[in-house]
């Protein structure tokens, strides 16, 4: 359904969008896996250092992303649950390297994995209104390789902690708050706030990320509405905002920071990502007592400005529009199986003033599209 979920929870992964949703799904267990396939490419043009060319970051092509959830309704007012889900595929792998990043011919790229363990409690102070509270426990793993051209003493505050240090781990926590109000049989609304998740530093990469390896997970908030004009049909819409501007390693611009400060410092160069606004629209239709079909669309603003494309060769997250389809089939009274497909349409951002004259000038153009296919099983107890 395009990723909606603020006002229309459907399974025990609901705390990923709104913890209050766990109070409306009953007793159930969910387990799933998604095959995620991003296609990321970069092109350098007009470079005085001879780096012009098209580079494919797809040496690692496929990613499996797991999810798990369990929820128990304690009584009419309280529920407890646990949602476990991951972000994967935040990876680039340029076989042979990017010439402006390395002169060794070895592969260039990054690999970032995130997994969230989210215990949740919900409370209904009055009927039809549900409050939710989650603790957002997070684990991150990160590796960078093929960035030898950024290891000079004049470029980074820690030359030995920029690249090729294998994976490093980071741990942290935040909170999530949510509310869902069932105003009548036709209309439900919801709201949620997820604080910044404060993470320990990536010590092995304290010479790459600003604030000595800091890589917190940004705060976000969302509101949603679900309309049910017919007993078997739901139309839902969410608005979400992600605050990348509060994480320096993500938000700090590349230029002039790359020349005015060293990588790893508080004002060291970052990826220059802007805050993102996201609109999601989804529909759900009960085709029969055993079959539900769903579809959705998701549009986000562009996080990567034209001036920030050079460093984002490593993280070319330029897609903005996603279409989704899914079905759930009730195998029995207590179990169901679901399938989901997502396509993120090809999008590109062309650089403007993106490569410093110290690296030969010119521009970096980024392009990405994505596909994913998910399978999940649920048991209601």
The mean of the pLDDT values for the chain is: 96
**Per residue in 21-33, pLDDT tens?**
999 999 999 999 9
Instruction: Judge contact between 321 and 223, C-beta under 8 A.
Output: no
**CB distance 249 to 209 below 8 Å:** yes
Query: Which residues is 34 bridged to in the sheet?
Result: 65, 374
Q: Provide the residue ranges of all domains of the chain, joining segments of one domain with +.
A: 14-380
Q: Which two tokens stand for residue 99?
A: 């010439």
pLDDT digit string (tens) for 123-155?
Answer: 999 999 999 999 999 999 999 999 999 999 999
- The CA angle 148-152-154, to the nearest 5 degrees, is 150
pLDDT for position 165: 97
Q: Which tokens hold the place of 111?
A: 């690999």
- pLDDT-based confidence at residue 105 (cuts at 50, 70, 90): confident
Q: Quick one: pLDDT at residue 106? A: 83
pLDDT of 89 higher than 80: no
Q: 14-380 belongs to which homologous superfamily?
A: Outer membrane protein transport protein (OMPP1/FadL/TodX) (2.40.160.60)
pLDDT, tens only, 280-310: 999 999 999 999 999 999 999 999 999 999 9
For the chain, percent of residues with pLDDT exceeding 90: 97
Q: Looking at the predicted structure, is the pLDDT value of residue 181 above 80? A: yes
CA separation for the pair 357, 354 (Å, rounded): 10
According to the model, what pLDDT value does residue 104 have? 76
Query: How far is residue 162 CA from its own chain's centroid?
Result: 24
Q: What is the mean pLDDT of residues 162-177?
A: 98
Q: How many other β-carbons are positioned within 10 Å of the β-carbon of residue 121? A: 17
pLDDT tens digit sequence for 237-280: 999 999 999 999 999 999 999 999 999 999 999 999 999 999 99
pTM (2 d.p.): 0.95
């Amino acid at each position: 359904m395009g990723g909606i979920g603020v006002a229309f929870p459907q399974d025990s992964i609901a705390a990923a969008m709104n913890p209050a949703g766990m109070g409306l799904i009953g007793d159930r267990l969910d387990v799933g896996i998604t095959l995620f396939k991003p296609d990321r490419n970069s092109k350098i043009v007009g470079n005085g250092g001879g780096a012009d060319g098209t580079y494919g970051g797809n040496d690692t092509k496929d990613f499996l992303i797991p999810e798990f959830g369990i929820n128990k309704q304690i009584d009419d007012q309280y529920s407890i649950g646990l949602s476990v889900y991951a972000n994967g595929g935040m990876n680039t792998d340029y076989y042979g390297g990017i010439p402006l990043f390395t002169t060794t011919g070895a592969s260039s790229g990054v690999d970032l994995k995130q997994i969230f363990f989210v215990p949740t409690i919900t409370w209904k102070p009055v009927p039809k209104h549900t409050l939710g509270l989650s603790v957002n426990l997070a684990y991150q793993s990160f590796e960078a390789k093929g960035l030898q051209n950024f290891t000079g003493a004049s470029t980074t505050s820690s030359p030995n902690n920029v690249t090729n240090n294998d994976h490093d781990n980071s741990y942290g926590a935040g909170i999530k708050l949510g509310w869902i109000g069932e105003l009548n049989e036709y209309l439900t609304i919801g709201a949620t706030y997820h604080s910044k998740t404060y993470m320990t530093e990536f010590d092995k990469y304290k010479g790459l990320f600003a604030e000595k390896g800091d890589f917190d997970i940004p705060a976000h908030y969302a509101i949603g509405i679900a309309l049910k004009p017919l007993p078997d049909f739901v139309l839902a819409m969410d608005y979400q905002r992600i605050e990348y501007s509060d994480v320096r390693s993500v938000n700090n611009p590349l230029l002039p920071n790359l020349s005015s400060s060293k990588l790893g410092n508080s004002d060291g160069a970052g990826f220059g990502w802007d805050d993102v606004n996201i609109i999601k629209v989804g529909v759900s239709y009960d085709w029969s007592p055993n079959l539900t079909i769903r579809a959705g669309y998701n549009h986000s603003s562009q996080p990567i400005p034209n001036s920030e494309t050079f460093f984002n060769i490593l993280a070319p997250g330029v897609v903005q529009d996603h279409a989704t389809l899914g079905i759930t089939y009730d195998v029995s009274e207590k179990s169901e199986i679901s399938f989901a497909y997502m396509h993120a349409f090809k999008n590109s951002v062309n650089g403007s003033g993106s490569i410093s004259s110290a690296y030969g000038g010119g521009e970096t153009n980024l392009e990405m599209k994505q596909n994913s296919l998910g399978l999940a099983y649920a048991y209601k107890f």
